[in-house]
Structure 1
Amino acid sequence: MSIEQRIHAHYAGLSPQERRAADLILDHIDDLALYSSAELAEMSGVSRATLSRLYRHLGFGSFTELRETARTLRQQGVPLGPDGDPELSQHLDQELRNLRKVLDPAGDDRTARAVSDLAGARTVLVVGLRNSHPVALHLKQQLQQAREGVRLAPLPGQTLGEELVDVGPGDVVVLLGFRRRPSGFERLVSFCAQTGARTLLIADGTARRHASSVDLWIECPLGSVGPFDSYAAAMSLVAVLADGVLAAAGEDGRRRVSRTAEVYAELDELDLR
C-alpha cells in the first residue's frame, strides 16, 4: 500500500492529534523525503511521541522507514519534489553533475566502444518503451543520417516481435531502459541477448541489475531538483554517439549526410529560412 492508502485506511481510527499530523503528511507527500521527524512535528503542532504513534498505526517502524518509502517512490520515477520551483542555478548544477557522470573523459571507454559497435554493425535496432521512446527516436534519427540500416522499435501499432525476428549476429540492439519501464523489460533484455546480436543498454541506475545480461552498459542519470526526471544528459549522450558514428563512417557518412540534405530539398520538407 502507498503512504496515502495507509493513511486513508487508518484515518477513522486516529486520534485528533494524529489526524492533524496525517493531514500534514498528505499535504507534503510530494516532498516528504526532504523533512525530518522533528520538522514534521513542529509544522503540524504535535509532539514527536504523537508522530511515533502515527507511524506505528500506519505500519511503519519509524519515520526513517516512512521517509525511505517516499524516497523509493521518487527513485522509481514518481514525480515527487518540493512545492516551490527550484532556482535555475540549482537546475544547472544538477544537469552538470549528470553530464559529468555520463561523459566523464577520465572514465572508462564505454562511449568509444558503443560508437565502434554502432558504426560496425550490419543493422542497428533502437528499442525504447514509454519514457525511453523519445530518446530512442532521437538516437534513431541521428544515426540514420550517418549510416544505413537503422531501425526503431516498436513502431506505432506494432509489437516488438515483428522487429526482433530478423535480429542476429552482426547486428546491434540498443535498449533504452529509463526508469518506470514496462514490467516485461527484463524478458526483453534476455531475449535480445539470446539473438546473438551485440546488446547495448543505456539507462539510469535503476536498470543496473540488467547490466550483466548485455554486452555493454552505459549508465545515464536522470537526476533533477524538481519533480520530473531530466533527460538532458541522455540527449547529450545521443549527440556524442551519433557524432562518433558519423566520424567513423568517413567519406561514406559525409556523402550520406549530403544526399539526405538533397532529398530534404527535393521534397521541400524543411523551412531553412
Structure 2
Amino acid sequence: MTAPTTLAAAAERAEAPAEPTAPEHPADLDGLRIDERVALRYADLPPQERKGADVLLEHFGDLATYSAAELASLAGVSKATMSRLFRNLGFEDFTQVREHLRRLRQHGLPVTLGATADLDAHVEAEGAAVQRAVAALGVHLDAVADLLAHAPRVVVVGLRNSYPVALHLRQQLTQVRPHVTLLPQPGQSWSEDVVDLGPQDAVVLVAFRRRPPGVRALAERLQAAGTPVVLLADPTARALAAHATWWVECPVQARGAFDSYAAASSVVAVLADAVLARRGRTGEQRVASIDSAYRTLGEVEAR
C-alpha cells in the first residue's frame, strides 16, 4: 500500500502549480537602473524575492549604505534569497549593485553612496572643486573674457540643472554690457534664436550632467556656423567639448547625494569680474545706471 500512496502523492505534487521563478539569465536588463529592473521582473519573482525587491525600492536612495546582510534582515529573508534576487536582476552579487549605484551617481542621479559627510569634509571637498574649476578657467580667461566683453551679442544657454547657473551668469554679464540673452526662455524653444548666430557672436553653453540630447545637436550646429562657444560643464561633457571653442571644466560631484554648483558659481563670479575689467569706463557707467534704476523703481531696498 505504501507504493500507491507515494505515487498518488507524487502525482498531486506534479499537478500542483509550481511557484514562479525568475529566469536564470535575465534579458533586456542592460542600461536599466536597478529600480527599473525590479519593476520589469517583479511579477516573475518568487514571493521571498519580492520581499527583498520591496526593500530595494524602499531604500533606493541610500541603498549603497547597507550591506547585503542588512538588506536581507530588513526584508525578513535569508542572505541566499537576496543573492538570488541580485542575480535575477542581472547582477553577479551586491558588489556589482554598489558599482551600478556608483555609476548612477557619477551621471548625476541623487543616490547616497555612504554615510552623510561631516561639515569639515564637505567644506574641504567644495574648496577643492572651486580650485580645480578656477584653474581650468584661468587657462582660457583672457580669450573668453575678451570675447564676452566685446562680441556684439552674447547668448547664454542652459537647461535643467544648468539653467540656474546660466541665469546667474546672464544676470551678471547684463550689468556690465548690453545684448546678453538667456536661452531658452520659459516655455519656448531655442531654434528661432540660434538660427541667426554666426562667427561674430558668442555663446556660453552651460551643460552639466543629465543633459538633454538636444544639447549636443546645438553644439554641433554652432560649431558648423563658426560661432565661438564657451562650454561650462562637468567632466562628463568631454565628448561635447569637441564641439566647443573653450571648455571650462567645473566639478559638480559632491560627497552627498546631490550635485554641488559651488565651483560653477565661483567661475561665474570670476568671469563676470574679468568682463567688467575689459569693459572699462563703459562697464562702470552701465553698472551705475542700473543701480540708479534699481533705486528709482524700488527694486532693491534703500541703502
Supply the RMSD in Å over aligned alpha carbons. Answer: 2.5
Letter in 2 for 1:258: A
Q: Is the 8 A contact 1:33 1:68 kept in 2?
A: no
Q: Structure 1 residue 154: deviation in Å? A: 1.3
Aligned to 1:121: 151
Tell me, yes or no, if structure 1 residue 256 matches structure 2 residue 298: no
Q: Which of 109, 112, 128 is the matching residue for 1:78?
A: 109
Tell me, yes or no, if structure 1 residue 231 matches structure 2 residue 236: no
Alignment of 1:78-157 (within 5 A): 78-81=109-112, 86-104=117-135, 109-157=139-187
Unaligned runs of 5+ in 2: 1-31
Tell me, yes or no, if structure 1 residue 67 matches structure 2 residue 98: yes
Partner-residue secondary structure (3-state), 1:223: coil
Q: Is the 8 A contact 1:173 1:200 kept in 2?
A: yes
In 2, distance between residues paired with 1:81 and 1:11? 24
Q: Is the 8 A contact 1:222 1:231 kept in 2?
A: yes
Alignment of 1:134-213 (within 5 A): 134-213=164-243
Q: Structure 1 residue 85: deviation in Å? A: 5.1
Letter in 2 for 1:28: H
Letter in 2 for 1:129: L
In 2, distance between residues paired with 1:110 and 1:84? 38
Q: State the TM-score, normalizing by the size of structure 2.
A: 0.79
In 1, distance between residues paired with 2:156 and 2:260? 21
Q: Structure 1 residue 116: deviation in Å? A: 2.3
Comparing 69-78 with 172-181, greater Cα deviation is found at 69-78
Q: Structure 1 residue 47: deviation in Å? A: 6.4
Q: Is the 8 A contact 2:49 2:81 kept in 1?
A: yes
- Structure exhibiting the larger radius of gyration computed from Cα positions: 2
Aligned to 2:28: none
In 2, distance between residues paired with 1:156 and 1:259? 27
Q: Structure 1 residue 156: deviation in Å? A: 2.4
Percent of paired sites with the same residue: 46
In 2, distance between residues paired with 1:156 and 1:50? 49
Letter in 2 for 1:7: V
Partner-residue secondary structure (3-state), 1:146: coil
- Alignment deviations for residues 140-197 of structure 1 (CA, whole Å, 9 cap, x no partner): 1101111222111112233212221331112111101012212211111111112222
Aligned to 1:56: 87
Q: Is the 8 A contact 2:156 2:183 kept in 1?
A: yes
Unaligned runs of 5+ in 1: none
Comparing 209-218 with 40-49, greater Cα deviation is found at 40-49
Q: Which of 17, 34, 37 is the matching residue for 1:3?
A: 34
Q: Structure 1 residue 84: deviation in Å? A: 6.7
Q: Is the 8 A contact 2:251 2:263 kept in 1?
A: yes
Partner-residue secondary structure (3-state), 2:259: coil
Q: Is the 8 A contact 1:135 1:176 kept in 2?
A: yes
Q: State the TM-score, normalizing by the size of structure 1.
A: 0.87
